Structure 1
Amino acid sequence: MCYSGQIYADYRKFVREFGADMSFEHFLQLFWEKQGDGNWAKLPRAMRSALRSPHNDEERQLADLVAAGDRQYAAALERELFEQKTRLTAAERVLATKPTKKAENDRRIASDKIARAQRNLADLQRAELLDRDSRIFPGHYAPVMVVLGGRRVVIPMRYQCRLPGWTKVMEREKPGTYNARRDNLKKAWRQLYGYKHGIIIATAFFENVARHRLEHRELEKGEKVENVVLEFEPAPRQDMLLACLWSVSKTEGEADLYSFAAITDDPPAEVAAAGHDRCIVPIKHENVEAWLNPNPRYMATLDAILDDRSRPYYEHRMAA
């Protein structure tokens, strides 16, 4: 899941299948924090929608926050639409009389932003969920199952791990920490591997691949590298319990940041043949308990869990 993943964003799946508890406090804090800071869209729509049918008082409180956040997000999108339509009108007026490079750029950018805002507004208004509502990218949030205080809990965490001791500045300098490479677990990730393990549930992952590698050929003379996005899905379709590492970062004056990275390893033959050099690591159901309760004195046991992974065949296709 180097680039993006299709996840189960409804925490209730962890409750049903693994007996986990939803950490109300962590969900509450995250929804409070994000509803007014411009990052509401980083909470997957499927995760927000899961709380629209509350079963108790705590979930009703979260449902109210989701509704308020959606309203604020819709209002921000409406403002964006108005601003970009105004920008587009001004650019077209200039282009009709004396075309300039700035006006051409303004028209292009405004048109793109109008289309995106209209699409996001339409997403807010539709009732049914689509696959893209459960897709996460680096910086987005997902429910992660961990063990705290001897019990399994589900905490919403950011998909991009802030390593222990890092500041925001250090994080920006090394933005690739949504991946924890298997060959680096005992080096860069040594403070988390063996200590803070988690699991997310995914059904597919997406990767950036160079087209010439996908087509098994060399670049032609003068040809530039073209990127395509592939969706990899296990066949037959199945849930994948992805091995993750997580961290909590405490910053004075700010809410604690819970974040995670998906462990990746060398790819199976079919993923490598499609042009990509990494692959997620789905662990077996029978290894969940041992994975979530790591003991750093027995690293060989943890290594064996990653070796004894689920190994489905991954079919691929161009991502929509």
Structure 2
Amino acid sequence: MGGGEVTERPTAEQIESLFVGALPRYTRIQVAGLAGVPQDLAERIWRALGFATLADDAVAFTEADVATLKRVRAMMEEGLDDQTVVRLARALGQTTARLAQWQAEIMIGTMLGPDERPTESDLAAIMELSRRLLPDFERVLVHVWRAQLAAAGTRLLAITDLTDEVVPSRLTLAVGFADLVSFTQVSRQLSERALADLVEGFESRASDVVAAHGGRLVKTLGDEVLFTAVSPRMAAAIALEFVDVIRRYGPEVRIGLAYGPVLPVMGDVFGTTVNLAARLTAIARPGTVIVDDGFAGAVAGAPGIQTGRLRQRPARGLGVVRPYVLRRA
């Protein structure tokens, strides 16, 4: 194909040529040698990026792969160690794999009917549109990634201002869990297409609300989302608006918020504060936001917010907690 227009069913080689560029020329041993990277480290990097381990004589690597490994070597010469390089590769591989799969589904779903079997001309049309959009999308991708790096750096700066630590290994954050009420029951009554629309609508609205208030959407789990915010007031604004938005959308949502130290690992967050937010979500009634006593104290006196103390109750694995309901004043 060579990047030209596709007029019939694309082959695997044509797809690879479109998105990767030149066709494979090297084995895994050759590409590591040409890049000057130890063979065992190169294999760890490929696995971290999500690529299968191939036979010694399998020709599967391109000039771009050689250039990529040379860039890795240059980063190591600037001071990065093997473990850091592999961790960065794993972050890149896992994130871009989900991104690529998601985008492919969107493109195919946009150009085809929901239950249509694609014809050869359909596949050719998708390939041709991808060819035309690829350069622009690549530039947008890099720009958004840089903007997200800037946002991450800004959040870290705000956190260090609060903790007086240069690079805190444990961050003090507001953590929120939002959970669709009666999701299991509702999902049994929906078709696969309707269920997919429900989940996508929930996640997209969550993403919009969290981003609008400067928080971070950590992950989505179908009927649940986990988000963080630098301050309890920011998290409270997210939660209260989220309840209103989802109520207009259809199903009810319940949210648990906690404030305290968390451990950041691989873009996720862990620790007692995260567990507490999840437990508070479990005891929240539909359409309500429940917070812990530390969170309630942090938002006391904030304009437009009020809290009401509830009776103590047990939280699995955390003992007895004193929850508060969070409302608009």
TM-score per shorter chain, which class?
Answer: under 0.3
* Rg larger in structure: 2
Larger RCO: 1 or 2 (CA < 8 Å, sep 6+): 1
Name the structure with the higher strand share. 1
Name the structure with the higher helix share. 2
